[in-house]
Structure 1
Amino acid sequence: MSEERIITAATVTTGEKADGKELQTLVEKSIHAGFEVEEIIGDAAYSEKGNLDYAKENNIKLIAKLNPMVSQGPRKVEDEFEFNNDAGMYVCPAGRMAIRTAKQGKKSKERNQVTTYYFDIEKCKNCSKREGCYKPGAKSKTYSVTIKSDIHKDQIEFEKSEYFKTRSKERYKIESKNSELKNQHGYDVALTSGLIGMRMQGVVLQIKCG
């Protein structure tokens, strides 16, 4: 949708499909319809690595926050292990340092690599803080950290900018348009079964709503 609330492109998928996978198709459809795309404003679903790369390659500003799993990691701040800069190792809440590390995964446009830190399992078995940290019977105890790619680091810095913060406030417009489609024009209920029927219904509503 354009900033003037004109629908420039749409795709219809089954419910289990991820929204972010449609970004490139929507951009290309919008360009084909005669619109210039210099900026994209969306939610975190659109900030996957492939979309960040696509936006950079096409000189498009992507105003979409990174998924917290990427920017902050899977654990709450209070649960994080401490990193010892001198040793280059993580230290667990009990004060024990990792004994070795290993990189896992392959570099790709879709995923980042992970650094896994291994701890002495024999010490973990008898640790006073093992509850909730060490799983009885486990053969290893690890702590993994995602290695942020340059594109993710750039996006994290971009999120801190006043430009990003100001422009992200415009996202309410697409939510407003979605609400209009569902509540005023009946797009919350499928009139027929199957994707073809939903696509036809979508085209009619797109023409009707602009």
Structure 2
Amino acid sequence: MISNQQTFNLSPFMAIYDIVVPKDNILRQINEIVDFSFVYEELQNKYCLDNGRNAVSPIRMFKYLLLKSIFDLSDVDVVERSKYDMSFKYFLDMAPEDPVINPSSLTKFRKLRLKDVSLLDMLIGKTVEIALEKEIIQSKTIIVDATHTKSRYNQ
């Protein structure tokens, strides 16, 4: 199972998140309420479990894409911002001192793991559905950057 690749974060600096990321921060609320384990279930057959080096957690990669959608950022910008924005690092389950991924990893993740374009739509849809259910998102209108999705009308 992919989740076997996860490790516990034992950084002595993790407590800083309680100081610098307020309880009402949208990313904190999403992280605390939404169980992202569904990402493992959906992507389980997209990973080789007994060959190659350990992959960056699919949940973290998905969360990078979610941050891109929420804040309308490019791959490079979301990775750059995750270097210094503590709410991003908290959302990505990173220790404050952890290095970020290379922006090209997001492209690779989309192309290799999310080959089926509807899978990305489904994952984002599932996250939004959970956030609406838990009343984290109040609006009934969601605007998503569809650069990497296929339009039903423009094949």
User: Could you say which structure has the larger radius of gyration?
Assistant: 1
* Structure with greater strand share of residues: 1
The TM-score with structure 2 as length reference comes to 0.27
The TM-score with structure 1 as length reference comes to 0.21
